[in-house]
Amino acid sequence: MTRVVFTLDETLTSTYHDVPLLDFLGCAPYDKLPKWVFRVMDTQLPDEDGILIQAPYGLRKVEAALLRNGFGRDEVVVAHPRKVERFIGEDTTIVSLYEMDPLGLGPVSMMFTNGGQWRNYTRVKFRELVERINAVREKKNLDFKLVVGGPGAWQLDLRKDEREMLRIDHVVIGEADHVAGRLFREIEAGSADETIVIRGWPRVEEIPTIVAPSYKGLVEVMRGCGRGCRFCEPNLRVARFIPLEKIEREIWLNVRAGIDHAWLHSEDIFLYMVEDRRNFYPNVDAVVELFETARKYTRNVNPTHGTVAAALAAPDMIEAISGIVDAGPNHWVGIQVGFETAAPELIGRYMNNKMKPFSPEEWPWVLLNGTYVFNRNYWFPAYTTILGLPGDTDDYEIETARLIVTMERKLEENLGERAHFTVTPLAFVPMGLLRGEEFYRIEDMITYGQFLHLYYAWKHLAKEVIRGLPKLLRGNPFLIPFYPLARFGVRVVLRQIEKWGKRKGYEVRPLEPLDLHIEVEEHRWYGQSSLVEAY
């Protein structure tokens, strides 16, 4: 049997038919969504005799850190959650779970479950997994330690009563690459604290290279961000840049394993190797070279997250990347981007570097014009906004709704069928420097302005699903049954939002667009950049 067994709940091992944004299905309310929906949408990652062939990137890093620090290959296994029992035995000292949202307290889940008042799928599946592991522990009278880590581990520290009820021995919070070997030995020896908060961060040279394929070919290109948004944990970490040669080795490992995709992960892809820490102008040469390097291995190169301000500051960089990855009408580049709010006052208060090199007062203009830069180059931004940000007002929320309306109209006027974006409102979760604030509960707290914000975001999403989804799903055979279902689903949700608003006393009313215009200057910030000039 195995010394250290890693696993995770099955919402994190589902590929969801490779349909964009379906990864968030685990955040849906378990008791409200028909059970057949999850069963139909769920497609699990393959395994080999119970061992995951692909696994989440963060878990692969901890695995690699243990192997680098004296643990043998036969002592460490990453098991499929549905087959984890076969690896747990008398030699097992630690069963460690990597979790994103174990108690359903993440921003997406809190939005869909009325502030956590309903159970979501991640919570249900996490509990099912823990109960199965505890059943093995009891049946075989084993004394291994049950450990939970990963981005969602903080939830079990916040809700200690649930943690005790689930008999979780240790919770690990923070980046563990540089201390994993010592930490796991302390847990084995019984000398570790119940809650282990890792202070500080590993240096770049202390971050190991993964030794087995990562889910969807995810490869980390930087840690932290440096923009310092007060509500965002990753943004508060020191920015560290992964060298190209290490990134290249991980892409090669994934491609060799048959994963024909390179997802370049960062909090802001356009800050890769940034040198200007005052105004955050992108290091265009470095960003372009990053995509050029990834493109040597696969045509399917995609960033995870980025900022709209950086795209607007260096539009030729976006054009160059589009040329590298062959972006076009049949090959769009998806990217997740923080919209947050249209209120310059809140941007300046909580995110005073997010809009740089522009000013907080220019933020709505930046969102409109930056989206134009994205769309013109066949980039499809998926924006997220925040409902319930401390200090919010109805006027600010109505401005956010009006900006969504403005972007829809102005982009279509200028780009026609090339105009695409989505806006997904998320519930405020007190994290980062706002940890002492209150969780946002939509049923109890929603205001009229927030209702309009929510309604117009979903109205635009419905429009994108009807006309834009085929562009993202082209070539995916699952589209045939899924597309009609998605069209029907968003219309139903929109009608339900309207009915729910009426019960709250809120009526939908037309909104006038803001007085903003698309006026992207046709110039190069980095005319001296040889890489940009080449494209």
Say how far apart CA 106 and CA 115 lie, in whole Å: 10
Report the CATH number that the domain containing residue 259 is assigned in CATH: 3.80.30.20
pLDDT of 225:
84
**Residue 469: pLDDT band by 50, 70, 90 thresholds?**
low
Residues 302 and 158 in one domain: no
User: Residue 95 is encoded by which pair of tokens?
Assistant: 């069963």
Are 193 and 236 members of one domain? no
Secondary structure of residue 396 in the 3-state scheme: helix
Indicate whether 101 and 136 sit together in one domain: yes
The per-residue pLDDT for 524 is 40
Q: What percent of the chain has pLDDT over 90?
A: 76
Q: Per the domain annotation, does 205 fall within a domain?
A: no
Task: Note whether 514 and 399 are within 8 A (CB).
Answer: yes
Bridge partners of residue 170, in order along the sequence:
147
Tell me, what's the pLDDT at 116?
81
Average pLDDT over residues 403-429: 95
Boundary of a domain, candidates 137, 170, 197: 197
pLDDT above 70 (res 42): yes
- Count structural domains, the chain: 2
As a whole-number percent, the residues of the chain with pLDDT over 70 amount to 92
241 and 170 housed in the same domain: no
Domain membership of residue 302 as a residue range: 213-534
Q: What is the DSSP string of 174-237?
A: S--TTTHHHHHHHHHHT-S-SEEE--S---GGGSPPPSSPBGGGEEE-EE--SS--TT-TGGGS
Cβ-contact 369, 514 below 8 angstroms: no
Taken in order 339, 218, 153, 168, the sign of the CA dihedral is positive
Q: How far apart are CA 458 and CA 455, in angstroms?
A: 5
pTM over the 0.85 mark: yes
Give the C-alpha separation, 340 to 230, whole Å. 12
Antiparallel, parallel or unpaired: β 218-220 and 262-265: parallel
Residues 313 and 394 in one domain: yes
- C-alpha 527/C-alpha 60 separation (Å) is 40
pLDDT at 229: 74
For residue 213, what pLDDT is reported? Answer: 98
In a domain? residue 202:
no
Count of C-beta atoms within a 10 Å radius of residue 304: 19
Distances, alpha carbon 500 to alpha carbons 113, 302, 401, 509, in Å: 15, 37, 18, 15
For the four alpha carbons of 401, 404, 408 and 413, in that order, the dihedral sign comes to: positive
Q: Which residue has the tokens 């923080």?
A: 338
